Amino acid sequence: MYIIKILFRNALRHKLRTTLTVVGVIIAVLAFGLLRTVITTWYMSVEASAANRLWTRNSVSLILPLPIAYKDKIRQIEGVRSVSHITWFGGIYIDEKNFFAQFAVEPQTYMEAFPEYYIPPEQKAAMLRDRKGAVAGRKLAQRYGWKLGNVITLKGTIYPGTWEFTLRGIYEGTRKDADETVFFFHWDYLNETLKKTAKGMEDQVGSFIVITKNLEDVTGVVQRIDNSFKNSLAETLTETEKAFVLGFISMTDAIITAIEFVSFVVIAIILAVVANTMAMTARERIGEYAILKTLGFGWFKIAGLIFGESLVISVMGCALGIGLTFPIADVFGAAMGQYFPAFNVTLETIYMDIATSIIVGLLAAIIPCWHAIKTPVAGGLRRIG
């Protein structure tokens, strides 16, 4: 305890400089923590993927549809428990800036395929009864102030026209990483309208969602589905949900790499700030270290004082930075909710903050420590006075 008291007193001897250094570390830790949280959030949907949930899409491109007739064929394949389908709608709500995911689905099987979405039974029943009924995630409904029974109008882009839906349900995620920003409605409503207004676009879906009976069936089901539609006009590509999501993320590799690079630049900034402070501190105390040497203090104890002071400064900044990361992450997540459905600071990020601050504290003290130890006693005493 006594040595810790000495380290804190040494660190606070020059209060203004230490305060500015700690503030710099706080800002750097905040930036590093938020950047790492962005990367973690980017991959959150991968970690949340269900092992027995498969996605079947057109093998040529995701934007090309598949015939709805494939559904019955897939259901009959050995190892398949249930089949649903999903189609990207891409409508505009009031203004183009109001972007959110919109899907035409088969509600009953879709809700069964995603048990992480909880819809109260009465709302689910109301949705199934109303052909124009729709369901929205809790966060999405909060963003636009939607209430049950509201009429929501979307302007079609892929599917021309003005589309009206009645909000019959609001779902909540049963897991922390569940996406609560999705809007979905009856595919039958879309298909029936297309038969009247856009001949040639009807009876087609974007992808099929396949639930296998057992985890052991996954590989076999993937092969059997794709073999069933080989040499057809619309061949399929079936993959696990994890692989399907990774396919989307791979399109943004450049962004992820840039964010990771910036996060490491932040570490370099922390190191430069702390190293500069420790260099000035060691230079000012060369005379003190010379006196300690004359009193019999070895290089190990002098190094302990320098490294300890550096760690006190970096760890103080880290602790305060971590404390501020959570409220700032909440504010950031609320502001960027349409891009980051769930923005949560993970324990892994906190551990990285702590490890980084300790490493920075140690590295920043190496050169000042080496200089203090190598300076002769006579040379150090000459600086006194």
Quick one: pLDDT at residue 154?
95
- Domain-embedded: residue 240: no
148 lies in which domain range?
A: 60-234
> Where is the domain boundary, 205, 234, 263?
234
Q: Are residues 193 and 298 in the same domain?
A: no
> Where is the domain boundary, 189, 205, 234?
234
Beta carbons of 137 and 182 less than 8 angstroms apart: yes
Q: Are residues 77 and 214 in the same domain?
A: yes
Strand partners, 153: 164
Q: How far apart are CA 118 and CA 304, in angstroms?
A: 56
- Domain-embedded: residue 53: no
Q: Are residues 64 and 192 in the same domain?
A: yes
Q: Are residues 40 and 76 in the same domain?
A: no
Per-residue pLDDT of the chain (385 residues; tens, 9 = 90+): 567 777 777 777 778 888 888 888 888 888 888 888 877 777 666 666 778 899 999 999 888 999 999 999 999 999 999 999 999 998 999 888 888 899 999 999 999 999 889 999 999 999 999 999 999 999 899 889 999 999 999 998 899 889 999 999 999 988 877 888 899 999 999 999 999 888 888 999 999 999 999 888 899 999 999 999 998 889 999 998 888 877 766 666 677 788 778 888 888 888 788 888 777 777 777 776 677 777 777 777 877 888 888 888 888 888 998 888 888 887 777 666 556 666 677 788 888 888 888 888 888 888 878 877 777 766 656 655 4
Q: How far apart are CA 310 and CA 308, in angstroms?
A: 5
- Domain-embedded: residue 247: no
Quick one: pLDDT at residue 336?
62
Q: Are residues 230 and 312 in the same domain?
A: no
> Where is the domain boundary, 204, 234, 264?
234
- Domain-embedded: residue 318: yes
Quick one: pLDDT at residue 242?
85
Q: Are residues 198 and 274 in the same domain?
A: no
Q: Are residues 144 and 292 in the same domain?
A: no
Quick one: pLDDT at residue 314?
87
Q: Are residues 264 and 228 in the same domain?
A: no
Quick one: pLDDT at residue 39?
78
Q: Are residues 33 and 64 in the same domain?
A: no
pTM score over 0.85: no
**SS3 of residue 57 by DSSP:** strand
| Closest listed residue to residue 88, CA positions, set 231, 187, 200, 213 | 187
- Domain-embedded: residue 133: yes
- Domain-embedded: residue 201: yes
Give me the helices (H) in the chain, please: 2-11, 15-42, 44-47, 70-75, 107-113, 121-129, 138-144, 187-197, 218-228, 241-249, 253-284, 286-294, 299-335, 347-374, 377-381
If one counts the domains in the chain, the total is: 2
Q: Are residues 265 and 342 in the same domain?
A: yes
Q: How far apart are CA 259 and CA 265, in angstroms?
A: 10
Q: Are residues 192 and 64 in the same domain?
A: yes
Q: Are residues 287 and 147 in the same domain?
A: no
Quick one: pLDDT at residue 384?
52
- Domain-embedded: residue 276: yes
- Domain-embedded: residue 245: no
Q: How far apart are CA 114 and CA 274, in angstroms?
A: 49
